[in-house]
Amino acid sequence: MKAIKVLVSTACFMGMAVSTHADETAALSIEGQDFTIQAAAPAHAENLDEVTSGWIYRARETQALQLDDFDNPGFVFVDQAIDSWNEVDGTEDKSCASCHENVEDFAGLRTTLPRVEDGKVVTMEDLVNSCRTEQMGAEPWKYSGAQMIGMTALIGLQSRGLPMNVAIDGEAAEFWEQGKELYYTRVGQLDMSCSNCHEDNYDTMIRADHLSQGQTNGFPTYRLKNAKLNSTHGRFKGCMKNIRAQPYKVGGDEFKSLELYIASRGQGLSVETPSVRN
């Protein structure tokens, strides 16, 4: 177990972070399917011994909401996305189902995203909007809008229980390095980086918040705080605001590279989409 840790910037949290330690005996099983919520850290996450799901750091009442799909409030938005999947839109009079038929065929896709194609980082949101504009002749959805988040949750759900496995070699290496640099760069009035909270001080209480490793395997995630599904880039934006930094553009190159890097830090953890967090 880690020793009690103190935040680097006490100006941010006005005091010491109290170590609470995650429950190492916790187990996540949904509909009879067991999930990997703790795993040996990948070699490229050189400052971690193991990677852990954010589910571990939540209160038992919050954890329980994810154990049953009927209780998981994120499924309200997944159900809405099923309607969107079958809805004809655009000049080509097509729906998602017109080309892809069964959404279940996307099993495994979530585990490999983001990925790099033709010199660009491609996210699931990019794939959805590419289908809408190029195949359906429809308007693109807002990158972190409700329709997009619901659809990415529906598609991500098909990979639930499968291990994250994004590629970071080959043409992805350049963007992975960019994401790593962003992860460790201090920004904002509080002069903090992602690593200050999610690497140096995870498993500590900051006021009422139990810090996690900031893994993204559960996104889109339903947050009790705002009672809706939240996107990965939306969470990045929120974190940057918390440290009084100017957020990068949602759907922009910086957040895409950061998403790739952080996803790689969770290699081996099961996809939990849609997860439930505070």
Binding-site annotation, residues for heme c: 96, 99-100, 131, 194, 197-198, 239
- C-alpha–C-alpha distance, residues 28 and 30, integer Å: 7
User: CA-based angle 65:164:247, to the nearest 5?
Assistant: 80
51 forms beta bridges with 39
Are the C-beta atoms of residues 259 and 216 closer than 8 Å to each other? Answer: yes
239 is catalytic: yes
In terms of Cβ atoms closer than 10 Å to its own Cβ (0-12, 13-18, 19+), residue 120 is middle
86 sits in which H/E element: helix 75-86
Q: Can you say which residues are annotated as belonging to the binding site?
A: 96, 99-100, 131, 194, 197-198, 235, 239
Among 65, 146, 239, 250, the active-site one is 239
Give binding residues for substrate as ranges: 235
DSSP three-state, residue 236? helix
- Could you give the C-alpha distances from 19 to 204, 213, 228, 234, in angstroms and in order? 4, 14, 29, 27
Known catalytic residues?
239
